[in-house]
Structure 1
């Protein structure tokens, strides 16, 4: 870890690598990776709900109005999908059209906090505190966002 990294980035790294089978090896590899990404297992401390970008971005907008800071959120290359970090176990219970869940037994590509990558990036980086998005609040935000998207679509027709 470089001396210039903010304390929150260090805390975020520690929180993220804590789920790795070998946190020290993961951290060492991640810090030296030219791509700035690593694979981390979902389902231990968090799951990830993956929304299509056309629903994910408005959902994040609604969440930002409802809470001071939602849990971590990833965007893939081109922002075609957004991944919301939610409590472990959420993915197995989640039912939603177009929403994929990554839980136990799956791995997520995760960028190093505070570093630019060519692909996946943090829209809301983890702060190391372990704060996750509440699934019930995420569902409400998704419903509101879907209504806004549908309304805008019908106005454009």
Structure 2
């Protein structure tokens, strides 16, 4: 009966190990990054990682990926830089405003590689997110909907 008991214990042990491994499967947790803006503010980025999304912050740019595909790039601007981007967009004949509400603006512009969608909006007291993507407007908004960008500690 000792062999039977050992087999039983081994089977139960394997079952418990498998159960423990499976409980971690399918659970995505938000990914967080702290981004230091030129304004001196620290911006906290939180990304919903479902569907293989992840992000990387390097050289002042936050890059959002799905699997290995770059979905969006986000830089952080001060008010003067934001205004320069908006003025440049308004002066160009290749731009079209999609939405504008207060300090939030989205527009599209054609460049050498195709249509680019841009989004500019406040994320701190002195800091603005400047997002650029080759994704269609609706898909780009979905990517932004996965994220929270706000001043750290607020």
**Pair in the same fold by TM > 0.5:** no
TM-score (norm. length: structure 2): 0.25
Q: Say which structure, 1 or 2, has more relative contact order (CA 8 Å, 6+ apart).
A: 1
TM-score (norm. length: structure 1): 0.25
When you count helix as a share of all residues, which structure comes out higher?
1
